[in-house]
Structure 1
Amino acid sequence: MPTLLHVDSSVWPGSASASRTVADAFRKTWEEQHPDGTVIYRDLAVNPVPHLDAVGASAGFADPATHSPEQAAAFAERLKLIEELEQADAVLIGAPMYNFSIPSTLKAWLDQVILMGRTAGETPSAKGTPVTVVASRGGSYAPGTPREPFEYVQNYLRDLLGTMLGLDVDFIVPELTLAHTTPAMSELIPLAEASRTKALEDADARAKELAARFSADAA
């Protein structure tokens, strides 16, 4: 049965987070389609991974036989995260926009799993794995909007996940999530509701599409 790697990074818990809500909808549908499957879950807000430091970075470029005890420990932690990515048949990432970019906890996870010569380089070890990114944001950064030039989440993750790691990237984008709590955005509440509804529908459809793909592969 297929394995789903689910990574959340919102600082807000449960339904207070748009990215978690939509990712949970995807995961619920996925688990309904694959009740005997495996889900590897990482909540980076609750249990953040270490930011990459000189010890962990240098270990990635050195022969493991030459690792110091500190390098060996740091590299073992990196390998655990890398192997979770490599073992996954599909990946689900909650990536809310904070200050025009992704949460630092998600950046830390990415820095840990990117290893040149293994997950990145000429033959990325997880190449072709489908990854669904729930890229929620408080406003709108869609093409044609005033803030389009500040859209760094999708552009960054498309290049990093798709080009560098070779993953098959798909985005679900619930936007205008601050409309309900920001008086100046109150007139945008209907658009925010429509965006949320579409995001939940897209999550359900994407999970079913991937589930069907893996079912067909197993047949």
Structure 2
Amino acid sequence: MTLFRLDASIRPQGSATREIGDVVEQEWLAAHPGDVVERRHIGVDVLPADAWGTAVDASSTPEAERTPAHREAAALAATLVDELLAADALLFAVPLYNYGVSQHFKTYGDLVWTDPRAHGVRFLEGKKAVLVTARGGAYGTGTPREGWDHATPFMRRILADVWGADLTVIEREFTLVGVLPEFDGFRDMAASMHAEALATAQQAGKALGAL
């Protein structure tokens, strides 16, 4: 079996989403020892910023009239969809950046949509997927920034409602406690949130591995 894992953190080391994603992956591998984990790290090995526009243009350009850039962008989009379709389970680790979705994940999603197999179709219908996300502050009900997280709802809509994946979401907050002095009073709360996210990741990884 194959697990496809996508990371979008811009941090090569110390990523909160990568830490939690690692727990999910380890549990999946425990159930599937020796099986394959296909990886794509769009936060470090970034997708070309102009690929989406070029792929969109390619989709309305007759094959004989396509430029090399058209073909390259269309081939990249096809590869992204191939990776999703070939996997038995999916893991996405995508942090909140500046209250919105990672630009790298947005580029990724836009490129996927340009492939005919994904355009307007729930092409991941029923496929098990886990989304790991992390936020530096707190955005829950009753907090001063309730509703400021514009990334997690977007990713739920794309992965589950539009693409059709059977999605489990793992969220961790207050990752900047210990980094920003103004958050020092929330150390105990942050530690509890961290432990809860890791425990949830273990459960989600076991469920993902039970396929």
TM-score w.r.t. the length of structure 1 is 0.89
Partner of 2:91: 92
Q: Does 1:204 align with 2:202?
A: yes
Alignment of 1:117-156 (within 5 A): 117-121=116-120, 123-156=121-154
SS of structure 1 residue aligned to 2:117: coil
The offset of 1:124, in angstroms, is 2.4
Counterpart amino acid of 2:173?
Answer: E
How many residues are paired up? 210
Partner of 2:6: 7
The offset of 1:68, in angstroms, is 3.2
148-157 or 110-119: which moved more? 110-119
Q: Is the 8 A contact 1:23 1:92 kept in 2?
A: yes
Of the candidates 174, 178, 181, which is equivalent to residue 176 of structure 2? 178
| Partner deviation per Cα, 1:8-27 (whole Å, 9 max, x = no partner) | 1111223x111111011111
Partner of 2:46: 48
Give unpaired runs (5+ residues) of structure 2. Answer: none
The percent of aligned pairs where both chains have the same amino acid is: 30
Give unpaired runs (5+ residues) of structure 1. Answer: 215-219
d(CA) in 1 for partners of 2:64, 2:166: 34
The offset of 1:62, in angstroms, is 4.5
d(CA) in 2 for partners of 1:72, 1:95: 28
| Partner deviation per Cα, 1:24-72 (whole Å, 9 max, x = no partner) | 1111111121113211111112211123343211223455465333212
TM-score w.r.t. the length of structure 2 is 0.92
SS of structure 2 residue aligned to 1:134: strand
SS of structure 1 residue aligned to 2:164: coil
Q: Is the 8 A contact 1:96 1:103 kept in 2?
A: yes
CA RMSD of aligned residues (A): 1.7
SS of structure 1 residue aligned to 2:96: coil
d(CA) in 2 for partners of 1:53, 1:200: 35
SS of structure 2 residue aligned to 1:5: strand
d(CA) in 1 for partners of 2:68, 2:136: 44
Q: Is the 8 A contact 2:140 2:146 kept in 1?
A: yes
Q: Is the 8 A contact 1:117 1:124 kept in 2?
A: no
Partner of 2:109: 110
d(CA) in 1 for partners of 2:5, 2:92: 6
d(CA) in 2 for partners of 1:180, 1:142: 20
Greater percentage in strand: 2
Q: Is the 8 A contact 2:139 2:149 kept in 1?
A: yes
